[in-house]
Amino acid sequence: MESKSRGEKQTAFQILVASSPKLLQQDKGDLWDTGKLAGDETIGTVYAGTPLVSQEYCYWKVCVWDRDGHAIWSHPAKWSMGLLKPEDWQAGWIGYDAERLKLAHQSLAASAEDGKKVEPYLPPVPYFRKNFNAGRSIVRATLYASALGLVEVHLNGHRVSEDFFTPGWTDYDQRVHYRTYDVTKLVRRGGNVLGAVLADGWYSGYVGYAGQRNYYGKLPRIRLQLQLEYADGTSAIVGTGPDWKATTGPVREADFLKGETYDARQELDGWDQPGFKDDNWQPVVTDSEVHPLMQAHPGPPVRIIAEFKAKAISEPKPGFYVLNLGQNFAGMARLKISGTPGQKITLRFAERLNSDGTIYTSNLRSARSTDTYICKGTGVETWEPHFTFHGFQYVEVAGLKKPPTKDQIVGLALSSDTPVVGSFSCSDPMLNQLHNNIYWTQRANFIEIPTDCPQRDERLGWTGDAQVYVRTATLNCDVEAFYTKWLVDLDEDGQRADGEFPMVAPVKVAGDDGGPAWADAGVICPWTIYDVYGDRRNLERHYDAMAKFIAFCQNRSKANSLPPDKYHCFGDWLNINADTPKDVIYTAYFAYSTKLTAQAAAVLGKTDNAAKYNDLFTRIKAAFNQAYVTDDGRISGDTQTAYVLALAFDLVDGERAKLAAQHLVDNIAKRDWHLSTGFIGTKDLMLVLAKIGRNDVAYRLIYNDTFPSWGFSIEHGATSIWERWDGWTPERGFQDPGMNSFAHYSFGAVYQWMVENIGGIRSDGPAYQHIIIAPQLDGKLTAATTSYDSIRGRIETGWKRDGGNFSLNVIIPPNTAATVYLPLNPAAANRISESGRPLESVKGVKLLRTENDRAVLEVESGSYHFVVKR
């Protein structure tokens, strides 16, 4: 519901699902009619009508009755059912292996000959086509598209969608996704052509850091099924099979890590249209190396989400131009050129520059990240690669005959198309830049799965990174569907038989033993997604995996719940000379995951299990205290992270908690008010400072611009979040290129603190049904505006300090209510008003109490303008 009026509420609702738009228009829900149901629940209603079958189209709308009993109908919407049963797939897997096998053979022979490793082959990309005839007039055409590799589907000269990297990344030996496209507008009566381009992608291209390809198979495949429905009620299927033809064309190489090479002289003009002569095209093969489950992709596709034009162009070496696009992001470049036939343009990509102005690429490790375009030489040519991406802010271009113009090479940012749901701006430009850097680092790494980085030869779904960042991710974009997909990679396909969760998901490329704080992603991520969006289904689906993981932790721990003598743990990754004992991390995370599993059990009504896990939590906590905490609140290791974990996960109580909190602050003070935390500690550092009432310290940390701090990177030109606090320093220059990404989101987890404390927006319990609005002021910030489109609607705060006065604009969505904390000046007589009226006379607001330095109000939904005059 959306409404500007105060206290608006849904009092009842009705959902209609119909088999045709016409029936729906007549308010006939022949598939499902809930009838009018009383209640204010607006999310998470699961379809419970007539069982639906493959390919069925469903038309639906919802009616809400508002507070006054008025009925309001939504616009109609539709969905279609996928191919639900294996036998619904009449199309088969096809491929074209000839040139690939030839190259593989040559490269093998070469390495056998001189006995050493040769640069392995990068095969050309195959094109596929099939002519078909649509004999009658079409009412609907639906395309189901999948691949072992990456497929781009064409129909009668058009790409069928703007999606990239279809069908995404899964453990292909277990499952592969397909996407469904309504292509009714592209099919015509008479002759048609369905075509496809197939690249290696994650299936058989280079993935990860081992310099290896072919993780899932050597022979990429496509599977396309086009369902034609005719006006006379009959239907037909056009599917991939032995009657297709294939060849290779202009895409000579295409690989995520290596880049793409395109020879425009080899273009196949008109290949995806009727009338094209394909006599010299070859037959396809019709088998496949794997036989995965076919499932509809549950998440958003990867798309171009923004374009960046050059801000500056330099020429650090003769003939090598460097374009600064102003923002570090992930994607590729679009090139416009009028060249001569065979002219070769080379594009290389980098996040930073060396001191001589050339591009810094040593941190890419074995990722060649080079795109090459060879001109046709017939007027203006425009090209962008479709089967690779890079992480970059700078493009180096070579092979031009004159300097490039600013719009000749444009940066195209790719990301999973997760809707943007957050905004932040305040009176401190550095904090605004920090928000920008966090946002873009998220977009650069949310490409099909949550990755560690988008630039070097890694780009893996690191679980530790994902769990520390997931809550912040939800505040920038709607990532529910995105995570719904990845949680299967992690909790279902990635879990080891003994219950351990992996280091990365999909798991194939790195280890299956994540270790403390990495493996725990298997519990923390599903819990967080439930907690933010309120849909129990992700919990239901993954609860058994969570429970199995806790059993695994129990089994390998000692009888007193403390760690075994040997286990794998990455530790507080990339901290500043402040290693936290791994046993502390182990035990703290074991306790935390146990607590979350207890909460999940409670939500799912598994009361006995909830009690069992709560009891286990209590025992782990006691063991933690006994083993690692002294009576004066010292925690083994005496690091910021040790205190942060104990306080964040409620592992210390009473006097010990107070003392531990003081030790944390003292530790920060001793470092001249700087942090020393790595990935694990940074996640909760600021949130713990808020929790212990020390936002004054949190503000000191966030304003820092000296090493180590968020501001330090910004001081040195960062447009993204760096992997390491010291990725570059004035004294030493770049860190070890072996591990020096400038787009790792982990330290960006601080955005949760910014939204909750500067913006003052927090959920009070699951899914923002009740909200807490409590901006935490400090002496320096004078204004901040923060918004978050929650699952229940937009929440917004905008506050200003002006002289002694404080004003706060708040928007609270319908069907929710909020507790609002207004800061008071204890030394002044505060007068609180709302839109110019004294509080007592304002509808929708109740003053609960005034405390020393704040007034506590309960507020109904709607939009408010509070002023506190001093």
Q: What is the DSSP string of 481-515?
A: HHHHHHHIIIIISS--TTS---SBSS-TTS-S---
* Distance separating alpha carbons of residues 515 and 399, to the nearest angstrom: 48
Give the shortest CB-518-to-ligand BGC separation in angstroms.
7
* Distance separating alpha carbons of residues 803 and 140, to the nearest angstrom: 64
Give the shortest CB-573-to-ligand BGC separation in angstroms.
5
Contact between 512 and ligand BGC by CB under 6 A: the answer reads no
Coil, helix or strand for 106?
Answer: helix
Give the shortest CB-637-to-ligand BGC separation in angstroms.
18
Residue of 149, 411, 450, 464 that binds ligand BGC (CB under 6 A): 464
Task: Pick the closer one to ligand BGC by CB: 152 or 572.
Answer: 572
Give the shortest CB-171-to-ligand BGC separation in angstroms.
20
Q: How far is CA 448 from CA 148, 304, 787, in A?
A: 15, 13, 26
Contact stretch for ligand BGC (CB under 6 A) within 253-261, 376-384, 452-460, 557-565: 452-460
Strands (E), 56-100: 57-65, 71-73, 77-80
Task: Pick the closer one to ligand BGC by CB: 195 or 678.
Answer: 678
Task: Pick the closer one to ligand BGC by CB: 171 or 452.
Answer: 452
Token readout for 29 is: 């829900």
Q: Which residue is nearest to ligand BGC (CB)?
A: 452
CB 398 within 8 A of CB 320: yes
Q: What are phi and psi of 88, to 5 degrees?
A: -70, -20
The side-by-side arrangement of strands in the sheet containing 245-248 is: 158-159, 150-155, 190-199, 126-134, 245-248, 282-283
Give the shortest CB-735-to-ligand BGC separation in angstroms.
13
* Distance separating alpha carbons of residues 485 and 561, to the nearest angstrom: 33
- Quickly tell me which residue has 């030493």 as its tokens: 732
Give the shortest CB-564-to-ligand BGC separation in angstroms.
20
Q: What are phi and psi of 308, to 5 degrees?
A: -125, 125
555-584 positions binding ligand BGC, by CB under 6 A: 570, 573
Contact between 452 and ligand BGC by CB under 6 A: the answer reads yes
Strands 854-869 and 805-823: antiparallel
* Distance separating alpha carbons of residues 722 and 728, to the nearest angstrom: 9
Task: Pick the closer one to ligand BGC by CB: 373 or 725.
Answer: 725
Contact stretch for ligand BGC (CB under 6 A) within 143-151, 461-469, 583-591, 789-797: 461-469
Contact stretch for ligand BGC (CB under 6 A) within 184-192, 460-468, 650-658, 712-720: 460-468
CB 419 within 8 A of CB 477: yes
409-438 positions binding ligand BGC, by CB under 6 A: none
Contact between 320 and ligand BGC by CB under 6 A: the answer reads no
Partnered with residue 141 across adjacent β-strands are: 228
Contact stretch for ligand BGC (CB under 6 A) within 73-81, 159-167, 456-464, 808-816: 456-464
Would you call 119 a catalytic residue per the annotation?
A: no
CB 186 within 8 A of CB 158: yes
Task: Pick the closer one to ligand BGC by CB: 245 or 744.
Answer: 744
CB 10 within 8 A of CB 42: yes
| x/- map, 688-727, ligand BGC, by CB under 6 A | ----------------------------------------
**Where do runs of H (alpha helix) occur along 42-169?**
98-114
CB-based contacts of 314, cutoff 8 Å, min separation 6: 321, 322, 324, 357
Give the shortest CB-517-to-ligand BGC separation in angstroms.
9
* Distance separating alpha carbons of residues 129 and 133, to the nearest angstrom: 13
Token readout for 517 is: 């704080």
| x/- map, 661-680, ligand BGC, by CB under 6 A | --------------------
> What's the farthest any 2 CA atoms get from each other in the chain?
91
Give the shortest CB-587-to-ligand BGC separation in angstroms.
19
CB 197 within 8 A of CB 96: no
The residue among 111, 121, 189, 116 whose CA lies nearest residue 156 is 189
Task: Pick the closer one to ligand BGC by CB: 144 or 728.
Answer: 728
Contact stretch for ligand BGC (CB under 6 A) within 75-83, 288-296, 459-467, 687-695: 459-467
DSSP class of 853: T
User: What's the residue count for the chain?
Assistant: 870
* Distance separating alpha carbons of residues 515 and 495, to the nearest angstrom: 12
* Distance separating alpha carbons of residues 220 and 124, to the nearest angstrom: 12
Task: Pick the closer one to ligand BGC by CB: 443 or 744.
Answer: 744
| x/- map, 24-63, ligand BGC, by CB under 6 A | ----------------------------------------
Give the shortest CB-739-to-ligand BGC separation in angstroms.
6
**Where do runs of H (alpha helix) occur along 477-520?**
480-487
Contact stretch for ligand BGC (CB under 6 A) within 9-17, 119-127, 450-458, 473-481: 450-458
Give the shortest CB-516-to-ligand BGC separation in angstroms.
12
Contact between 462 and ligand BGC by CB under 6 A: the answer reads yes
Contact between 163 and ligand BGC by CB under 6 A: the answer reads no
Contact stretch for ligand BGC (CB under 6 A) within 231-239, 414-422, 462-470, 520-528: 462-470
Marked catalytic residue, from 289, 723, 756, 834: 723
CB-based contacts of 623, cutoff 8 Å, min separation 6: 560, 561, 562, 587
Give the shortest CB-380-to-ligand BGC separation in angstroms.
41
Give me the amino acid identity at 820. Answer: V
Contact between 458 and ligand BGC by CB under 6 A: the answer reads yes
Token readout for 297 is: 């992709």
Contact between 465 and ligand BGC by CB under 6 A: the answer reads yes
Task: Pick the closer one to ligand BGC by CB: 392 or 469.
Answer: 469
Would you call 723 a catalytic residue per the annotation?
A: yes
Token readout for 87 is: 């036998």
Task: Pick the closer one to ligand BGC by CB: 160 or 680.
Answer: 680
Which of 292-308 are b and which e, b meaning 16 or more Cβ less than 10 Å from the residue's Cβ?
bebbbbbbbbbebbeeb
* Distance separating alpha carbons of residues 400 and 338, to the nearest angstrom: 10
721-750 positions binding ligand BGC, by CB under 6 A: 744
Marked catalytic residue, from 458, 500, 834, 860: 458
Task: Pick the closer one to ligand BGC by CB: 570 or 649.
Answer: 570
Give the shortest CB-453-to-ligand BGC separation in angstroms.
6
Total residues contacting ligand BGC (rule CB under 6 A)? 9
Token readout for 161 is: 């969608």
- Quickly tell me which residue has 């990309």 as its tokens: 125
Give the shortest CB-726-to-ligand BGC separation in angstroms.
16
Contact stretch for ligand BGC (CB under 6 A) within 75-83, 349-357, 457-465, 615-623: 457-465
* Distance separating alpha carbons of residues 373 and 253, to the nearest angstrom: 11
Task: Pick the closer one to ligand BGC by CB: 260 or 458.
Answer: 458
Task: Pick the closer one to ligand BGC by CB: 571 or 813.
Answer: 571
Contact stretch for ligand BGC (CB under 6 A) within 383-391, 451-459, 832-840, 843-851: 451-459
Q: List, by residue number, the catalytic residues.
A: 458, 723
List residues binding ligand BGC (CB under 6 A).
452-453, 458, 462, 464-465, 570, 573, 744
